[in-house]
Chain A
């Protein structure tokens, strides 16, 4: 039944992070640490080490890009560093989507999303910690993550010399790389902070001036984000496979971040609703979030397939090596997760969220949100691991690190959520959101 009674409206709600919730976050971190230690022990003891020889061979004929000269670091340390980078890129990207979501809704003059606006604002609380981790991991572990950072790889006459990588030295060199990363993260952090400040000021002072300022900031941010997200995808993800390139890659990574970000917003909204908050949030809002998840799961698949099909069709060795490694390469190590990736990120959300009723039911939305988040984490797994660890990847260390990230992320996220009213009481479109029907 449509809510045509115009008297009801939303009031300020203050989230209290209970001790139970805090304990859950800590438990996730502790569980992650335990899994990580087991994984590290397993890697150090060399359980399953007999696979290495065969995997090395597979790497040999998978193309020139795969034959890296890894000096020094043992496998367990390599895996730890790569999985730190992997989870950080995923969580940092999802976090930034909070601001992107806000900005798109501002620019579109969208009213319905006001009810979940504070969740999106809080999501970007991880940008700063994520940026710090990114620099630390890059400075410590760049040799194990990025082939192009190896000594002498761009020097003629050096035994490590690689003509193709040397040809990219104008773009892929450490000073320029660091400058670019600082610019991306600076822009993302600044606008996340700016939009949050404007929103908090609006809460305090009211009036439409904050709304209009937010729209200006959002429009500027979206232009900058369109460029920086794409370039960040080349730098942080694509340059792992230094020889390889794909013009679809920026979109592909963005699509992955974006759909995960929306899933994170929807999942948080469900948890808050079930804890008794967000009283004016109805199944109509969930329906719209569900539509976005449904649509952008298809969008991700569309981009994924556009990249895959052209490479498959043209079958050029320097491009096809990417899929050779993932489909059957390294003794079929990644083949399973390759198809798992398609099923959980496309088939499952597509069929699961197809009907109207599914999008309006908390339990189905919850399952699909979690599936999408796991699915896109493993999508990033598939982007990073074959290029860095070849046949030496595994799951325990990676899942342990991801759990630690998740726990830490939730602590920062929930603190930001609790620091202001969950309902932006003075937002000019609040009433529209309260009476939103789909």
Chain B
């Protein structure tokens, strides 16, 4: 789906932070902010809700733990029992390192895949970027426009008043 955005370009993260607060206070909904590095406090300023990714992570971890324990107990206890160092077939202390590793493995891969899927940041040939300078030294605030872009002059004024060095319009195909 193609949408139009007003892009305010900022030179400085502090200016950007205050601009975000002021723009939101003026009743404008900020679509997103793009920055070369994570800006402290930007989540709170944008009013972004806390991610539910940790909950997913917990369940990925539990899956990994359960899988690791099942795998080892089944393999070494039932499918092909072997005596190793005179220990019982199902020797839990020996299973813990593998259980730990698989818990971590499932958690991090599950989280990464979930994150890329939900945010639409998965790798692909053509990546939609609002303004390529946001990967270098500029901070970009994107505000969604309606069909006719009628608010654009007012937004330009608002962004300029709050320290934007330039304001552009861009058409984007998202997700």
Interface residues of A (CB under 8 A from B): 1-2, 4, 305, 308-309, 312-313, 315, 354-356, 437
Closest beta carbon of chain A to B70's beta carbon, Å:
21
* Residue on B nearest A305 in the bound complex, by CB: B96
Pairs A–B under 8 Å by Cβ, sample size 10: A2-B40, A2-B44, A4-B41, A309-B93, A309-B97, A355-B54, A356-B50, A356-B54, A437-B41, A437-B44
Most central of A4, A309, A315, A437 by chain B CB within 10 Å = A4
Chain A residues whose C-beta falls within 8 Å of the C-beta of B94 in the assembled complex: 309, 313
Q: Is B85's beta carbon under 8 Å from chain A?
A: yes
Closest beta carbon of chain B to A405's beta carbon, Å:
34
Within 8 A of A (CB), among B39-72: 40-41, 44-45, 50, 54, 58
Considering the chains assembled together, what is the distance between the CA atoms of A1 and B94 in angstroms?
Answer: 47
User: Given A4-B17, A355-B54, is A312 in contact with B41 using a C-beta cutoff of 8 Å?
Assistant: no
* Residue on A nearest B41 in the bound complex, by CB: A2
Q: Of B21, B50, B85, which is within 8 A of A4 by CB?
A: B21
Closest beta carbon of chain A to B96's beta carbon, Å:
7
User: Given A313-B85, A315-B86, is A308 in contact with B41 using a C-beta cutoff of 8 Å?
Assistant: no
Chain A residues whose C-beta falls within 8 Å of the C-beta of B40 in the assembled complex: 2, 437
3 residue pairs, one from A and one from B, having the closest CB atoms = A2-B41, A2-B44, A309-B93
Closest beta carbon of chain B to A326's beta carbon, Å:
14
Q: Of A4, A309, A354, which is within 8 A of B96 by CB?
A: A309
Interface residues as binary, B8-46 with A (CB distance below 8 Å gives 1, 0 otherwise): 000000000110010000000000000000001100110
Chain B residues whose C-beta falls within 8 Å of the C-beta of A355 in the assembled complex: 54
Closest beta carbon of chain B to A320's beta carbon, Å:
12
Considering the chains assembled together, what is the distance between the CA atoms of A356 and B58 in angstroms?
Answer: 13
Considering the chains assembled together, what is the distance between the CA atoms of A356 and B53 in angstroms?
Answer: 12
Closest beta carbon of chain B to A328's beta carbon, Å:
15
Decide: B54 and A308 in contact? CB cutoff 8 A: no
Considering the chains assembled together, what is the distance between the CA atoms of A1 and B45 in angstroms?
Answer: 7
Chain B residues whose C-beta falls within 8 Å of the C-beta of A2 in the assembled complex: 40-41, 44-45
Chain B residues whose C-beta falls within 8 Å of the C-beta of A315 in the assembled complex: 85-86
Q: Of A305, A308, A354, A437, which is within 8 A of B58 by CB?
A: A354
Considering the chains assembled together, what is the distance between the CA atoms of A313 and B44 in angstroms?
Answer: 50
Chain B residues whose C-beta falls within 8 Å of the C-beta of A309 in the assembled complex: 93-94, 96-97
Closest beta carbon of chain A to B152's beta carbon, Å:
28
Decide: B18 and A4 in contact? CB cutoff 8 A: yes
Chain A residues whose C-beta falls within 8 Å of the C-beta of B93 in the assembled complex: 305, 308-309, 312-313
Closest beta carbon of chain B to A356's beta carbon, Å:
7
Closest beta carbon of chain A to B134's beta carbon, Å:
21
Considering the chains assembled together, what is the distance between the CA atoms of A2 and B44 in angstroms?
Answer: 6
Closest beta carbon of chain B to A314's beta carbon, Å:
8
Closest beta carbon of chain B to A285's beta carbon, Å:
15
Considering the chains assembled together, what is the distance between the CA atoms of A309 and B17 in angstroms?
Answer: 51
Considering the chains assembled together, what is the distance between the CA atoms of A308 and B18 in angstroms?
Answer: 54
Interface residues as binary, B94-112 with A (CB distance below 8 Å gives 1, 0 otherwise): 1011000000000000000
Considering the chains assembled together, what is the distance between the CA atoms of A2 and B50 in angstroms?
Answer: 14
Considering the chains assembled together, what is the distance between the CA atoms of A437 and B43 in angstroms?
Answer: 11
Chain A residues whose C-beta falls within 8 Å of the C-beta of B50 in the assembled complex: 356
Considering the chains assembled together, what is the distance between the CA atoms of A1 and B97 in angstroms?
Answer: 41
Chain B residues whose C-beta falls within 8 Å of the C-beta of A4 in the assembled complex: 17-18, 21, 41, 45
Closest beta carbon of chain A to B103's beta carbon, Å:
12
Decide: A1 and B44 in contact? CB cutoff 8 A: yes
Chain A residues whose C-beta falls within 8 Å of the C-beta of B18 in the assembled complex: 4
* Residue on B nearest A312 in the bound complex, by CB: B93
Chain B residues whose C-beta falls within 8 Å of the C-beta of A354 in the assembled complex: 58
Chain A residues whose C-beta falls within 8 Å of the C-beta of B87 in the assembled complex: 313
Considering the chains assembled together, what is the distance between the CA atoms of A305 and B94 in angstroms?
Answer: 11
Closest beta carbon of chain A to B101's beta carbon, Å:
13
Considering the chains assembled together, what is the distance between the CA atoms of A355 and B17 in angstroms?
Answer: 28
Closest beta carbon of chain B to A283's beta carbon, Å:
13
Chain B residues whose C-beta falls within 8 Å of the C-beta of A312 in the assembled complex: 93
* Residue on B nearest A6 in the bound complex, by CB: B14
Closest beta carbon of chain B to A431's beta carbon, Å:
14
* Residue on A nearest B17 in the bound complex, by CB: A4
Closest beta carbon of chain B to A258's beta carbon, Å:
21
Considering the chains assembled together, what is the distance between the CA atoms of A354 and B62 in angstroms?
Answer: 14
Chain B residues whose C-beta falls within 8 Å of the C-beta of A1 in the assembled complex: 44
* Residue on B nearest A357 in the bound complex, by CB: B50
Considering the chains assembled together, what is the distance between the CA atoms of A355 and B87 in angstroms?
Answer: 37
Chain B residues whose C-beta falls within 8 Å of the C-beta of A356 in the assembled complex: 50, 54
Closest beta carbon of chain A to B147's beta carbon, Å:
34
Considering the chains assembled together, what is the distance between the CA atoms of A354 and B61 in angstroms?
Answer: 13
